[in-house]
Amino acid sequence: MVARRQGDEPDDCLRLGVALPASEGKRRLCLAAPRSSIQSHRGPLSLREVIDAGPGDWNDALHRLAEAADAIALEPGVYGSFAWQVLTGQGYLTSSSDIDLLWRPRSAAQLDALTGLLFRWERETGRRADGEVLLPDGDAACWRELRRESPRVLVKSHASVALRARSDLLNAFA
């Protein structure tokens, strides 16, 4: 997984993050690789790609989430432990695991519907959804922070992390 730049890597390198499975202590490795050594890349897995490949006790909850996402015309990307387990076949998920989702709403109304959907899904299924919303400028913020009424939200870009006015982020969807 490509990680946020720290500023000390050469321009021709990517910072990469690799998570190890639970049996290896869920350690995280950070390394840099020359862009020329990357043989292929892809975006996050789709929710539909992980439903049947994930643990059976998640199946019903993930189908419900996919149906709810379809109803608001959004398809989340899946990253984190769920994606690592599906991609590698190794045991990344534990009984306390959540699912990390990346969402791309196109309007403030769709964002509001999304955050409401996620709170309901968590309450109804007993599962937890973490993850981020891609903002119109390409930066990302945690969906929970966008739902809360706090005046400032932590926003991540490819090169930095900063607090920004929540109202500015919501207005960007207008």
Residue 6 pLDDT: 67
Which one of the listed residues 52, 100, 130, 168 is annotated catalytic? 100
* Digit-coded pLDDT (tens) for 25-64: 888 888 888 889 988 888 899 999 999 877 888 999 999 9
DSSP per residue, 59-74: HHHHHHHHHHHHHTT-
Q: Which pLDDT does position 153 carry in this prediction?
A: 95
Nearest residue to 63 (alpha-carbon basis) of 124, 105, 111, 106: 124
Under-70 pLDDT residues of the chain: 1-7
Q: What's the CA gap between 90 and 15, in Å, rounded?
A: 23
This prediction's pTM: 0.89
State in Å, rounded, how far the first CA of the chain is from the last one.
31
Catalytic residue (one of 98, 130, 139, 168): 98
148: CB partners within 8 A, 6+ apart:
none
70 labelled catalytic: no
Tokens of residue 84, six digits: 């690592």
Answer yes or no: 100 catalytic.
Answer: yes
d(CA 77, CA 57): 20
User: What pLDDT score was predicted for residue 168?
Assistant: 92
Mean pLDDT of the chain: 90
Q: What pLDDT was estimated at residue 12?
A: 84
81 phi and psi angles, rounded to 5 deg: -60, -40
